[in-house]
Structure 1
Amino acid sequence: MEGETLDGRYQLGEELGRGGHGVVYRATDNQTGATVAVKLVRHAVKSDPQYAARLLREAESLKALWGTSVVQVHAYGEDENGTVYMVMELLEGESFEQHLRELESFGDRLSAYAMLTMLDPVARALHTAHTMGIIHRDVKPANIFVVGPEAGGGVRLMDFGLAKIIGAEGLTAAGMIAGSPSYIAPEMWRSEPFDHRADVYAFGAVVFRALAGHPPFTVASHVDMFLAATTAPRPKLSPLRPELSPEIDAWVERALAVRPEERYPYITTLWNELIRIMMNGSSPSAERVRAAFRLP
């Protein structure tokens, strides 16, 4: 569709990426002259109304969270040709996953201070989403975007395409597991009822990945991942990061608890406890945490 004009306004440019159901293009808003990103439902799946409904639900979730660190949505809808679309801010930079891999390629990892600084806006956005009854369901490093300094810096939480809105009709078929294996909560692996604590688990796994250099469980197959997530002992961070307070292992145990009722009940309780633990570390990074962060 490169070169076409969508809904008489958005002229599509180069393709930026695609997933199983959607394609994202760089585009020009002919009314304002702004460069934006446009996400479309792929033609191959357009005949299935579920995918169009999912894109529109994603747009509604992002619009409801305007003002947080989620990617900003400018418009969404369906044009006269039946193309379902969402117009978003164009992000320049790299995913958090790419950022971590680049560090790790040099044998390095994020400091406690850098991790807290980068993920604090994400924690706040997830808390706001949960208070509004929105569960992301696919929190992972690849869905966190690090905006380049030349584009203003900061981070964005992206891809609410799997979001569950409390009280709304479900869009995931019974028995289907939504999310990315390394970050899926145990109750979702078991196809059990879940709530916002599934995001608490996933966000805890993102923190573990950032500090350890790998996800909580590194196994070869989905079956092994299911068994690890639902039955294996929780991993320890202290052997990998001895400069952190030994309390970090108890934090991991609770953040990644198999049973939701044994997990941190909210993103805020998980995050504030993590900040407190990072303040108790024995490195220059801990000193920066103590200077920069305040607990309620």
Structure 2
Amino acid sequence: MGQVWRATDTTLDREVAVKLLKVEYADAPAFRARFESEARHAASLQHPGIAAVYDVGEARTADGTQRPYLVMELVEGQPLSVLLRAGEPMDTAVAQDLMAQAADALSAAHAAGIVHRDVKPANLLVTAQRQLKITDFGIARAATEAGLTQTGQVMGTPQYLSPEQARGTTATAASDVYSLGCVAFECLAGRRPFVADSPVTTALAHINQPVPELPAQVPADLARVVRRAMAKAPADRFADAAAFAAALRDPARLGPDPVVGPVGGPVGGLPTSATVVAPAAVVDDRTQVLSGLGPGVAAPAPLPLAEPSATGRSAGLLLLVVAALVAAAVVVIVLVVRGSGDEPISVTPSRTA
């Protein structure tokens, strides 16, 4: 959605990052709304684990197009998505520390009434000193705001979407906890927990499929922490992101897993799709608007059974009459043959379909 440039703030003499809305989206109301949402939400948050926004405005390009821009804190680092390697789990201690930092930052956003709604490796920047900063609040939502999508649409990244988001219900702080749990799983396992053959079936897997087992080398208490963060029901997860951060730092203090119900069934009349765990690098992890999910999509109504026509009823009656005549003829033949003194003939009438 945006292009990020390294720039210099000549007034304050500091290096900054400037994010420009791509020219092809400059006149699209939905993308402009997301861009403005990012500026508003990120600017309202002050936390060392959240990339700060300093300024916002519009710039006129050479062709006369007005392109919105954000002036942001320059983070000297790389997205976690670049650091992850398919099939290569991250060092356990490093993963614990990075995920705990992310949970701390989410806790600050939640305390301000803001839900990120798109927590994923690409939105987690990691510096050379292993400091993590959350970025891209483009689809974040405050408790008092309306959504950016229409009924029957879900916005997010399918591989990290919480079950309630996939169902089309309102995302809460617990939804961010679930998404960060998916990121923690990927760090520790070297693969994403759910990947299917399409964005929609991947989203449905978060509802219908149990959480896969982490590799045996992951400590059991840490695996329980991740499993609780990824519980299907929000009430079965950690009470908040701060509690998740504390559990990541000291997994041994986590209490017993809550008793959970069965995995939820299909959504919106869509069938359950079998899901397999696949390498992390084979799917598109961009933020997407998924159609065909959520409560606004009704299950298709069953087709009514057709009433038999008059022609059909007549044809059926005719077949019955013919079958009766054939059976009568067979009986007559048997009686005639037996009456002539010859050996009786065994007649087995064939079934008429």
User: Normalised by the size of structure 2, how large is the TM-score?
Assistant: 0.65
Q: Distance in 2 between matches of 1:218 and 1:48?
A: 31
Counterpart in the other structure of 2:70: 86
Question: 1:156-190 CA deviation, whole Å, 9 max, x = no partner?
Answer: 11111110111023222332222111100011111
Is 1:275 aligned to 2:252, yes or no?
Answer: no
Q: Distance in 1 between matches of 2:110 and 2:145?
A: 14
Task: Pick one of 107, 113, 135 that aligns with 1:127.
Answer: 107
Where does structure 1 differ by over 6 angstroms across 4 or more consecutive aligned residues?
none
Counterpart in the other structure of 2:126: 146
Counterpart in the other structure of 1:247: 221
Q: Distance in 2 between matches of 1:195 and 1:279?
A: 25
Residue 38 of structure 1 deviates from its aligned partner by: 1.0
Q: Distance in 2 between matches of 1:163 and 1:215?
A: 23
| Residues 77 and 85, structure 1, Cα contact 8 Å, conserved in 2 | yes
| Residues 212 and 241, structure 1, Cα contact 8 Å, conserved in 2 | no
Aligned to 1:199, what secondary structure does the other structure show? helix
Is 1:160 aligned to 2:134, yes or no?
Answer: no
Q: Distance in 2 between matches of 1:108 and 1:217?
A: 17
Q: Distance in 2 between matches of 1:243 and 1:193?
A: 33
Residue 243 of structure 1 deviates from its aligned partner by: 5.2
Counterpart in the other structure of 2:166: 189
Q: Distance in 2 between matches of 1:241 and 1:125?
A: 29
Q: Distance in 1 between matches of 2:231 and 2:241?
A: 14
User: % of aligned pairs identical?
Assistant: 34
Task: Pick one of 250, 256, 260 that aligns with 2:234.
Answer: 260
Aligned to 2:103, what secondary structure does the other structure show? helix
Aligned to 1:228, what secondary structure does the other structure show? helix
Unmatched 5+ stretches in structure 2 = 255-353
| Residues 38 and 87, structure 1, Cα contact 8 Å, conserved in 2 | yes
Counterpart in the other structure of 2:81: 97
Q: Distance in 2 between matches of 1:124 and 1:200?
A: 11
Q: Distance in 1 between matches of 2:88 and 2:172?
A: 35
Aligned to 1:83, what secondary structure does the other structure show? strand
CA-based RMSD: 2.3
Counterpart in the other structure of 2:37: 57
Is 1:215 aligned to 2:192, yes or no?
Answer: yes
Q: Distance in 2 between matches of 1:204 and 1:56?
A: 28
Aligned to 1:114, what secondary structure does the other structure show? helix
Return closer, same or farther for 1:108/1:234 CA change in 2, 3 Å cut-off: closer
Counterpart in the other structure of 2:3: 23
Counterpart in the other structure of 2:18: 38
Return closer, same or farther for 1:60/1:227 CA change in 2, 3 Å cut-off: closer
| Residues 93 and 148, structure 1, Cα contact 8 Å, conserved in 2 | yes
Return closer, same or farther for 1:215/1:50 CA change in 2, 3 Å cut-off: same
Residue 79 of structure 1 deviates from its aligned partner by: 4.7
Return closer, same or farther for 1:40/1:231 CA change in 2, 3 Å cut-off: same
Return closer, same or farther for 1:226/1:52 CA change in 2, 3 Å cut-off: closer
Q: Distance in 1 between matches of 2:207 and 2:32?
A: 33
Q: Distance in 2 between matches of 1:182 and 1:62?
A: 24
Aligned to 2:156, what secondary structure does the other structure show? coil
Residue 74 of structure 1 deviates from its aligned partner by: 1.6
Residue 113 of structure 1 deviates from its aligned partner by: 1.8
Residue 123 of structure 1 deviates from its aligned partner by: 1.1
User: Quick one: which amino acid aligns to residue 217 of structure 1?
Assistant: F
Residue 55 of structure 1 deviates from its aligned partner by: 1.6
Aligned to 1:178, what secondary structure does the other structure show? strand
Unmatched 5+ stretches in structure 1 = 1-20, 281-296
Residue 47 of structure 1 deviates from its aligned partner by: 2.0
Q: Distance in 2 between matches of 1:226 and 1:89?
A: 33
Return closer, same or farther for 1:79/1:242 CA change in 2, 3 Å cut-off: closer
Q: What pairs up with 1:99-118 in 2 under 5 angstroms?
A: 99-101=83-85, 108-118=88-98
